[in-house]
Amino acid sequence: MEKVSKATRFVQEVHATVREISVEQLRGHEETDPHRYEEVIKIIQDYGKLDVPIIVDSRSYVILDGHHRFKAYKELGLKLIPCVLVDYFSEHVQLFSRRSDIPVSKEEVINRALRGDLYPPKTTRHVFLDLPPLPNGSG
């Protein structure tokens, strides 16, 4: 049985629209793990661009899932990145902290990303539940 990533399964299940977003518009909210980043770089160099889009907030373009892919694409000089836009403040997007010593909120995730004050790697976990399409065809 083929292993399918959470992000891939999410895109397939909600029939999300993938958009190409300029690398300059996207903002991360977490630092990346250097070992995992190197793994992603190698995969992209060996196999080409990955089929898994990055999941971002539709208003702020803050990355919710895909920090390592984003950093790798940027390092490799990609100008447009495949993304799925979601309404982050929707009840269909849930946020959890992976660290008991670091509380998180959606507002703080956005604020830290916009300030460039990144959380440590793997601090947040986002769960996407049956997301409806965004209004006005933006998702």
Number of residues that this document lists for the chain: 139
Q: How far is CA 127 from CA 1, 3, 59, 61, 132, in A?
A: 23, 18, 18, 17, 14
Measured CA to CA, the distance from residue 36 to residue 24 in angstroms comes to 22
Name the amino acid, one letter, at 2: E
83: burial class by Cβ within 10 Å (0-12, 13-18, 19+)? Answer: buried
Measured CA to CA, the distance from residue 29 to residue 34 in angstroms comes to 16
Measured CA to CA, the distance from residue 11 to residue 86 in angstroms comes to 11
Is 2 one of the catalytic residues? no
Catalytic member of 24, 30, 38, 75: 30
Q: Which residues are catalytic?
A: 30
